[in-house]
């Protein structure tokens, strides 16, 4: 039976397992650092004084204006209710009047001049006239109060606009202060983490994974702040900002992919792995010195040992020297 290769020894297995445990612990370190980091960010947001909506309303004089508007609205609603009730009474009186008039007319056509029917008809007509007067009066009061309601309503709407504008200005100042505090904490931390990572990497320190986890935590925290405040500042032009940013990323990605895909060195190595000419991609025949597809030479001598190698090979197959 063919051997698949030497089995790793206990030391190698221990090294593999320890590296896996280290990576797992590093991920856990990033998570716990993020928990603490976002707690710090939340506490930094409590240092500046938040805008007080109630205090702004008081400063703009909203309570007095609102009271006048509510009183005028209450008077108008009562007048509207009274007008509706008067109309309902008038409708009912008209229906009764129509019935009594028809009843009295039919009696007269049959030759019956009943004083009771005549009295009921006259009373119904009187009630209709009185209901019409009450409805006309109630409707006039409603129209008058509706006209008087416009001024306090406009004043209330104007003061609410001023309150909203004042609150938005105060909130913008608050957000700017929080932005400054949070980035004064996050950006230096990220810079220090990058500096520490570079320093340990130059020294080939065994504790580089700790610096990597710290840098990852600081980077995620900084990116989160950039995303949060970037959206806050650009929320009014979010579709345009998203379009410009997305287009720029896609163009940069296309350029990078095209440069990578058309890199001559990468193409040559990829074609050699498939047994193709590194210059044109035509299949190579064993023992040939020129490509039958493009006619160009496909063998070059190693500058160290003069052994022929296929053009584009990264290293010499005889001495292992890197080839240009």
What pLDDT, in 10s, does the model give residues 307-320? 888 877 888 877 88
Average pLDDT, the chain: 85
Distance in angstroms (rounded) separating the CA atoms of residues 205 and 115: 121
Note the pLDDT of residue 177: 92
**Cβ proximity of 101 and 128 under 8 Å:** no
Higher pLDDT: 80 or 16? It is 80
Collect contacts of 279-283 with beta carbons under 8 A, ≥24 apart: 279/311, 279/312
Say how many Å lie between the first and final Cα of the chain, rounded. 42
Contact 283, 275 (CB under 8 A): yes
Taking the C-alpha atoms of residue 113 and residue 103, their distance in angstroms, rounded to an integer, is 11
Burial of 138 (0-12, 13-18, 19+ CB in 10 A): buried
Q: Which pair of tokens denotes residue 39?
A: 């707690």
pLDDT at 67 over 90: yes
Section 24-28 average pLDDT: 89
Tell me: the pLDDT tens digits for 178-226?
989 998 999 999 999 999 999 988 888 888 888 889 999 999 999 888 8
The pLDDT score that the predictor gives to residue 242 is 63
Q: Contact, 159 vs 60, CB < 8 A?
A: yes
- Where residue 321 falls (left for φ over 0; alpha for ψ -120 to 50; beta otherwise) is beta
Higher-confidence residue of 169 and 278: namely 169
Which of residues 127 and 275 earns the better pLDDT score? 127
Angle at 136 between CA 130 and CA 138, to 5 degrees: 100
Dist. CA 81–CA 91, nearest whole Å: 15
**Tens-place pLDDT, residues 78-133:** 999 999 999 999 999 999 999 999 999 998 888 888 899 999 999 999 999 999 99
CA atoms within 13 A on the CB side of 7: 2
Higher pLDDT, 276 or 240: 276
In this prediction, residues 262-290 reach a mean pLDDT of 79
The confidence score (pLDDT) of residue 16 equals 42
Mean of the pLDDT values across residues 231-236?
Answer: 65
pLDDT in tens, 134-146: 999 999 999 999 9
Helix H or strand E encompassing 310: strand 308-310
* pLDDT interval class at 261 (50, 70, 90): low
Residues whose CB falls within 8 Å of the CB of residue 221, separated by 6 or more in sequence, listed in order? 34, 37, 38, 41, 186, 189, 190
> What does the pLDDT average to over 59-85?
94
Q: For position 13, what pLDDT does the model report?
A: 40
Percentage of residues in the chain having pLDDT higher than 90: 47
């Amino acid at each position: 039976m063919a051997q698949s290769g030497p089995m790793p020894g206990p030391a190698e297995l221990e090294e593999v397992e320890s590296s896996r445990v280290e990576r797992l612990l590093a991920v856990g370190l990033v998570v716990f650092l993020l928990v603490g980091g976002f707690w710090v960010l939340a506490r930094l947001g409590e240092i500046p004084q938040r805008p007080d909506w109630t205090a702004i309303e008081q400063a703009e004089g909203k309570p007095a204006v609102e009271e006048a508007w509510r009183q005028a609205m209450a008077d108008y609603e009562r007048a509207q209710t009274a007008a509706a009730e008067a109309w309902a009474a008038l409708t009912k009186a008209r229906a009764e009047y129509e019935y009594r008039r028809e009843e009295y007319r039919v009696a007269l056509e049959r030759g019956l001049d009943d004083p009771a029917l005549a009295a009921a008809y006259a009373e119904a007509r009187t009630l209709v006239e009185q209901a019409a007067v009450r409805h006309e009066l109630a409707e006039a009061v409603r129209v008058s109060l509706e006209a008087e309601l416009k001024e306090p309503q406009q004043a209330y709407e104007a003061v609410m606009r001023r309150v909203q504008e004042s609150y938005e200005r105060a909130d913008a100042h608050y957000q700017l202060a929080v932005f400054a505090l949070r980035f004064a904490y996050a950006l230096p931390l990220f810079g220090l983490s990058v500096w520490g990572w570079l320093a340990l990497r130059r020294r080939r320190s065994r504790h580089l994974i700790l610096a990597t986890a710290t840098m990852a935590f600081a980077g995620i925290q900084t990116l989160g702040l950039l995303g949060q405040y970037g959206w806050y500042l650009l929320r009014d032009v979010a579709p345009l900002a998203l379009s410009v940013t997305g287009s720029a990323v896609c163009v940069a990605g296309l350029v990078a992919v095209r440069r990578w895909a058309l890199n001559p060195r990468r193409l040559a190595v990829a074609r050699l792995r498939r047994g193709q000419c590194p210059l044109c991609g035509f299949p190579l025949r064993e023992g040939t010195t020129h490509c039958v597809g493009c006619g160009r030479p496909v063998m070059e001598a190693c500058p160290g040992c003069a052994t022929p190698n296929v053009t584009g090979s990264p290293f010499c197959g005889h001495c292992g020297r890197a080839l240009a």
